[in-house]
Amino acid sequence: MDLTEILSNPVRVRIIQYLQLYGDATTKQISGYLDDIPAPTIYRHVNSLIKEGVLTVKDERKVRGTTERLIGIDVEKWSEGVNSDIAGTAYQFLMSIYGQFREYCSSPDVDPMADGLCLRSCIMRLGDETFDQFITEYAALIDKYLKMQDGGKLRSISIISAPVKEGS
């Protein structure tokens, strides 16, 4: 499994994010949630992610003459892939953000103020329990606003958490 390739595709990233947030789901559920992406595109990427071993089929059942699959992240293989090249995974994550930002900036009508562009970073001193609570609350906040609003814009919001070398 080449995580660099997987993370360089925004559709695949959004599928994985959905499953990380909501747990196991059918492709139809994912497609209904990511309604700005054509259903055949979602199905194609889900099948590729299954083939690459990132996703796994947890259950199958017959529904009106078709087979509906319940899919989820193969946590063991996903963790293995992330841990095998953590620096490469982080680099690809950052480059995908940079690519989106560069594409945005290349538009002739770019208006950062009107678009609500923001770049924020903060360093917090948190114990492990407090950090876990922060991540839980952050996930709940994301969940609250994740569904696309009618007339809303797609926005990319990223968070990176890594230890900071003190005294730097």
Instruction: State CA 23 to chain mean position distance.
Output: 13
| CB < 8 Å & 24+ apart, contacts of 72-77 | 72/19, 72/23, 72/24, 72/25, 73/16, 73/19, 73/20, 77/1, 77/53
Question: Mind listing the pLDDT tens digit of every residue in the chain (168 residues)?
Answer: 566 677 678 888 889 888 887 889 999 999 988 888 999 999 999 999 999 888 999 988 887 887 888 999 887 776 666 666 677 767 767 777 777 788 888 888 889 898 888 888 888 999 999 999 998 898 888 878 876 667 777 787 888 888 887 775
Q: Which domains does the chain have, with CATH numbers?
A: 3-109 (1.10.10.10)
**In whole angstroms, what is the distance from residue 22 CA to residue 16 CA?**
10
Closest alpha carbon to 45 in 14, 88, 84: 14
